């Protein structure tokens, strides 16, 4: 079997594989109500929040769209902080639905500077909402969300966060950091298949919801809340993924939040050290290197496409290339969810064999 080391989808533990095979149940039954109830309570613990949390059936991007259309109106001024592909996508969604988006972009590989966010908010007092990515999966950089939130809240703006590849893997105390909307996706750190976006919404988020007039039907948080009160979802949910999540969340709570975050930090450290030992440079700014995805700069003649192909076909190790303007320039190693140092050792020793065959002259 392949060693799947991309930043989502991520491998499933046996306990989850077993449970997602279960027979279907009626999603409007006491049985589903019980499962969803357990999932929501456990998600609140992992989000470190008392806010409402919903399961939305869709991919992470669906969750981002939901975050936009439930809090904004056409013409709203929005600051979109971006450090890569996913930050750009978040701003593009808001723009598509008619928001007046001011982009605040930083060089790919770098983190956002909270002082620049503060300056941008001062320069345009009409801004109502700030969009930001916690962990930018395309570059392997984790923003200092605590510091960014502090300046956003100082200016009393709504803060909507793409936490798709951080929540559940990297510490993100939603309530302590005043995150109004936090969005994650099932196939990242949660050890379940793709198919669910999980979102939280604060009191301030609900105030924005009450005024927001962007078109929404499928993603309506109002409907999500009223159905959740009856233990249901407005539309048929990805039942099998919910089964999986019930089990994976129990596993996560058993391990404990502190231990999960520490394991991701250790595994990421092993990944970075392993890469450096091969003579390859890390792409992300060292002080903000992500604990869920490591990005590596292609150098010394390395043909990343050739390397990825040999890794996949001969070593059965699947890692990711670069996206958009980073295509061919970097490759990425995902280490979130069900992962230990052992998985990283396998990747590093495979790379050691394959790199010289893919043109790499360094090391």
Ligand X SMILES: *Cc1c(COP(=O)(O)O)cnc(C)c1O
Interface with ligand X by CB under 6 A: which residues? 7-8, 59-61, 86, 133, 135, 137, 162, 164-165, 185
**Pair of tokens at residue 122:** 């001062």
Burial of 149 (0-12, 13-18, 19+ CB in 10 A): buried
Termini Cα distance of the chain: 29
- The nearer residue to ligand X, 118 or 318, going by C-beta atoms, is 318
- The nearer residue to ligand X, 80 or 133, going by C-beta atoms, is 133
- The nearer residue to ligand X, 206 or 261, going by C-beta atoms, is 261
**Pair of tokens at residue 31:** 């049985």
Residue with the two structure tokens 């960014």: 148
Answer yes or no: are the C-beta atoms of 294 and 8 closer than 8 Å: no
Task: Tell me how far, at minimum, the Cβ of 192 lies from ligand X, in Å.
Answer: 12
Task: Tell me how far, at minimum, the Cβ of 70 lies from ligand X, in Å.
Answer: 17
- The nearer residue to ligand X, 127 or 336, going by C-beta atoms, is 336
Answer yes or no: are the C-beta atoms of 128 and 77 closer than 8 Å: yes
Residue among 218, 190, 144 at smallest CA distance from 42? 190
- The nearer residue to ligand X, 185 or 237, going by C-beta atoms, is 185
Distance CA 271, CA 260 (A): 16
Task: Tell me how far, at minimum, the Cβ of 211 lies from ligand X, in Å.
Answer: 26
- The nearer residue to ligand X, 32 or 338, going by C-beta atoms, is 338
Burial 80-116 (b: 16+ CB within 10 A, else e): bbbbbbbbbbbbebbeebebebbbbebebbbbbbbee
- The nearer residue to ligand X, 57 or 232, going by C-beta atoms, is 57
The DSSP result for 231-288, as a single string, is T--SS---HHHHHHHHHHHHHHHHH-HHHHHHHHHHHHHHHHHHHHHTTPPB-S-GGG
Residue with the two structure tokens 């092993």: 270
Task: Tell me how far, at minimum, the Cβ of 169 lies from ligand X, in Å.
Answer: 11
Task: Tell me how far, at minimum, the Cβ of 212 lies from ligand X, in Å.
Answer: 21
Task: Tell me how far, at minimum, the Cβ of 265 lies from ligand X, in Å.
Answer: 18
Task: Tell me how far, at minimum, the Cβ of 182 lies from ligand X, in Å.
Answer: 12
Task: Tell me how far, at minimum, the Cβ of 189 lies from ligand X, in Å.
Answer: 10
- The nearer residue to ligand X, 162 or 343, going by C-beta atoms, is 162
């Amino acid at each position: 079997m392949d060693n799947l080391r991309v930043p989502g989808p991520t491998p499933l533990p046996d306990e989850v594989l077993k449970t997602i095979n279960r027979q279907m149940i009626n999603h409007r039954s006491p049985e589903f109500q019980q499962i969803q109830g357990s999932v929501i309570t456990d998600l609140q613990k992992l989000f470190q929040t008392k806010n409402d949390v919903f399961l939305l059936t869709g991919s992470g991007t669906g969750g981002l769209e939901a975050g936009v259309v439930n809090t904004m109106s056409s013409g709203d001024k929005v600051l979109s902080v971006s450090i890569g592909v996913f930050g750009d996508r978040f701003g593009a969604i808001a723009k598509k639905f008619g928001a007046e988006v001011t982009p605040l972009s930083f060089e790919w590989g770098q983190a956002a500077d909270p002082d620049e966010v503060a300056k941008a908010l001062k320069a345009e007092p009409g801004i109502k909402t700030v969009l930001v990515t916690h962990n930018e999966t395309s570059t392997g950089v984790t923003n200092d969300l605590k510091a960014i939130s502090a300046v956003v809240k100082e200016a009393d703006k709504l803060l909507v966060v793409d936490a798709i590849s951080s929540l559940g893997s990297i510490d993100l105390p939603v309530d302590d950091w005043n995150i109004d909307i936090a969005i994650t996706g099932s196939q990242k750190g949660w050890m379940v298949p793709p198919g669910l976006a999980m979102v939280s919404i604060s009191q301030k988020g609900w105030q924005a919801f009450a005024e927001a007039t962007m078109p929404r039907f499928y993603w309506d948080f109002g409907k999500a809340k009223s159905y959740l009160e009856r233990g249901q979802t407005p539309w048929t949910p990805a039942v099998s993924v919910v089964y999986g999540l019930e089990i994976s969340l129990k596993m996560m709570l058993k391990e404990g939040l502190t231990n999960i975050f520490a394991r991701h930090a250790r595994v990421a450290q092993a990944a970075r050290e392993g890469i450096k030992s091969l003579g390859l440079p890390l792409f992300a700014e060292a002080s903000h290197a992500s604990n869920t995805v490591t990005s590596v700069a292609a150098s010394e003649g390395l043909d990343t496409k050739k390397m990825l192909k040999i890794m996949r076909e001969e070593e059965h190790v699947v890692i990711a290339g670069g996206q958009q303007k980073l295509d061919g320039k970097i490759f990425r190693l995902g280490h979130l969810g069900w992962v230990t140092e052992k998985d990283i050792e396998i990747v590093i020793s495979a790379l050691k064999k394959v790199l010289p065959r893919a043109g790499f002259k360094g090391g």
